Structures are given as C-alpha cells and as structure tokens.
C-alpha cells in the first residue's frame, strides 16, 4: 500500500492551471492455497506446500490440535508439523496483506494408530511334532489384516486378531512371522519356534555281550551300528533323548568297574587295562527325558569271552 502523486495540467490558449492529488494504491487481496499429507500412521511427520499470490505480510497456520504458527519470512516454503496422537485434524492457513486477507480451504489430516505385531506362543517351550501350538496377537485392531507365516511354508490370513493354531509335521526351528496391515500402517514381528521329535523315552538293556580283545583298555567306548550288530560293546539302547543320564557296571563283589554319563558311550568289557573274565556283572542305568519322565533300571549281564 502506497501513496502516489497525481497531476492534472490544463492549457487553454496560453492560459494554464494545474492540480495535484495523492492517490492511495491498494494491492489486490492475496490468494493462498496448499497441498500436503492427508492420511498416514502415527507418528506423522506432515509436510504442507503453500502456493501464494499477491502481496503478503504474514501467514498464520492452524493445525487442528490447538496450536498455530505465524510465518513472516519465506512464506512460500514448505512447512512441517508432527502429529503424535491418532485422530482427525483440520489444517488451515490464512494470508494477511495490505489488500486484505485470504483463507485457504482447510484440509483434513487423518492420523491412524500405528499397529504393533507383537504376539505370544503357547506353549512357549519346545513342543513335539504333531502337538498344537497357539499364537495370540498382543493387539486386536479393527479394519486390519493379520498374516501369519508359520515358517514351514504354510500361511494364514485373517481379518482380526483372533488366536490361531498350527501343527508342525517335522522337527526344526521354524521362524514364525506375523504381519499386521491396516489402510496405511504395517508392522511385523518374528519369533523362532522349537519343534522336536517325541520326547518321552525308554531303555532296553541286553542280557549278554561278547567283547573283543581290541579294546583300548579304558573300558569306555563310543558305539555305533556296527557294535549293535556285533554285540561287542555293552550299552543300554535308548529311545528318546535324555537330558540326564548315568550308566554303571559292577562285578560280583560290588566293585564299580565302569561308569559313564554319556549316552553314546558303552562298556567294552575292559577294566584297568585288561579284558574282564567271563562272568555275570550287575548294571544300573538312570535317565531323565525332555518331557520330564525318568527311568531307573538294574539287572545283570553275562560277559562271554570269545
């Protein structure tokens, strides 16, 4: 807004006169509009991009949650604002200038709740093949899709946060992945399961064995299928995997001549570097299996020398 002088000069056959008057020139009213983010998940770092026309001294932004911001410099630069709480907000801006003021159309900002894909498994410990495992999301969101990936190639998609169940046909450590998606928000969580073979157990013990003279003299010998076939190492035959184990052998005088806590080690008939004589020996075995069951047995075995 400014004053400008205005002059009028009259000339009538040599007779002149003049007149001057200051004229106030008022700029036209400003014009302002803006574009920006409209819908996203909390926390939303929104950006607004104003378009301005005319002479503008300042603009005032309102963000729909009670705060405002006055901008007097770099009026047409993008403006950022953070929304931390889910909700619906009306954003507006008004431009002020010497020619008046102008208010842009408001825009609606929708801030959606961020989803959390945490979940629990039951049982939380290892389960056997064929057992049912339950998966429970920590949160139930409306208008969200829950995608369960069970780590064995199977997948299930449901529209709400209900409990889902799954049964595994093979032992392993599957990685279970839950993906939750709503209109714009996505979150995922992974957990590793533990699927094991049958965890009970039993013990079978032969009544005789025939050692060879090729032992190392220590009495302890790891065994395999050949020893089972040749019957040259004495050991309990276990079904299942023990978490605690002891196996010992005694002579007829009650003297312990062999002992081990290793399920894969048996007695090869030696004691103190010598092959024991043909005789009847007493054994004891105790085992605790992964499911908590325990076995304790005692008996006798005949050592038959070749």
Binned at pLDDT 50, 70 and 90, residue 179 comes out as very high
127-136, 227-236, 281-290: the lowest-pLDDT one: 227-236
In a domain, 150, yes or no: yes
Summarize the confidence of residues 256-265 as an average pLDDT: 93
What percent of the chain is predicted at pLDDT more than 70? Answer: 90
Q: Convert the pLDDT of each residue in 24-38 to its tens digit.
A: 777 788 888 899 888
| Residue 72 shares a structural domain with residue 142 | no
- Does residue 20 register a pLDDT over 80? no
Return the HEC string of the chain: CEEEEEEEEEEECCEEEEEEEEEEECCCCCEEEEEECCEEECCEEEEEEEEEECCCCEEEEECCCCCEEEECCCCCCCEEEEECCCEEEEEEEEEEECCEEEECCCEEEEEECCCCCCEEEECCCCEECCCEEEEEECCCCCCCEEEEECCCCCEEEECCCCCEEEECCCCECCEEEEEEECCCCEEEEEEECCEECCCCCEEECCCEECCCCCCCCCCEEECCHHHHHHCCCECCEEECCEEEEEEEEECCCCCEEEEECCCCEEECCEECCEECCCEEEEEEEEEEECCCCEEEEEEEEEECCC
What are 176's two structure tokens? 């279970």
In a domain, 80, yes or no: yes
Binned at pLDDT 50, 70 and 90, residue 89 comes out as very high
| Residue 276 shares a structural domain with residue 211 | yes
Distance CA 282, CA 295 (A): 17
Summarize the confidence of residues 115-129 as an average pLDDT: 90
Summarize the confidence of residues 211-226 as an average pLDDT: 74
- For residue 181, the enclosing domain spans 119-196
- Of the three residues 148, 169, 196, the one that is the final residue of a domain is 196
In a domain, 144, yes or no: yes
Distance CA 237, CA 182 (A): 55
Phi-psi region of 132 (alpha: psi -120 to 50; beta: other; left: phi over 0): beta
- Does residue 7 register a pLDDT over 70? no
Binned at pLDDT 50, 70 and 90, residue 10 comes out as low
Listed residue (123, 135, 134, 118) closest to 190, CA to CA: 118
Half-sphere exposure for 4 (CA within 13 Å, toward CB): 7
In a domain, 21, yes or no: no
Neighbours of 89 (CB within 10 A): 20
Summarize the confidence of residues 58-72 as an average pLDDT: 93
> Residue 41 is part of a domain; what is its CATH number?
2.60.40.10
- Of the three residues 161, 196, 231, the one that is the final residue of a domain is 196
Q: What is the pLDDT of residue 220?
A: 82
> Residue 245 is part of a domain; what is its CATH number?
2.60.40
Q: What is the pLDDT of residue 8?
A: 52
| Residue 139 shares a structural domain with residue 207 | no
Q: How many domains does the chain have?
A: 3
Listed residue (194, 74, 71) closest to 126, CA to CA: 194
Summarize the confidence of residues 247-265 as an average pLDDT: 94
């Amino acid at each position: 807004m400014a004053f400008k002088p205005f002059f009028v000069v009259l000339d009538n056959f040599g007779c002149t006169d003049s007149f001057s008057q200051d004229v106030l020139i008022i700029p036209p009213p400003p014009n302002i509009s803006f574009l920006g983010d409209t819908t996203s998940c909390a926390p939303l770092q929104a950006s607004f991009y104003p378009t301005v026309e005319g002479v503008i001294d300042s603009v005032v932004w309102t963000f729909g949650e009670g705060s405002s911001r006055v901008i007097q410099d770099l009026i047409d630069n993008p403006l950022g604002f953070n929304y931390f709480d889910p909700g619906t907000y009306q954003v507006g801006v008004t431009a002020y200038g010497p020619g008046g003021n102008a208010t842009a159309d408001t825009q609606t900002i929708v801030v959606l709740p961020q989803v959390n894909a945490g979940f629990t498994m039951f049982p939380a410990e290892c389960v056997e093949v064929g057992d049912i495992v339950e998966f429970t999301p920590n949160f139930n969101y409306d208008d969200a899709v829950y995608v369960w990936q069970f780590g064995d190639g199977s997948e299930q998609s449901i529209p709400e946060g209900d409990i889902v169940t799954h049964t595994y046909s093979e032992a392993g450590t599957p990685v279970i992945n839950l993906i939750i998606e709503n209109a714009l928000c996505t979150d995922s969580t992974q957990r590793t399961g533990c699927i094991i073979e049958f965890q009970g157990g039993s013990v079978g013990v032969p009544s005789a064995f025939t050692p060879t003279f090729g032992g190392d003299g220590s009495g302890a010998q790891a065994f395999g299928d050949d020893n089972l076939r040749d019957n040259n190492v004495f050991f309990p035959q276990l079904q299942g995997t023990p978490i605690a184990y002891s196996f010992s052998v005694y002579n007829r005088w009650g003297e312990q001549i062999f002992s081990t806590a290793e399920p894969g080690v048996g007695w090869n008939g030696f004691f103190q570097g010598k092959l024991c004589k043909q005789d009847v020996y007493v054994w004891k075995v105790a085992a605790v299996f992964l499911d908590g069951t325990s076995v304790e047995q005692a008996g006798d075995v005949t050592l038959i020398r070749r």
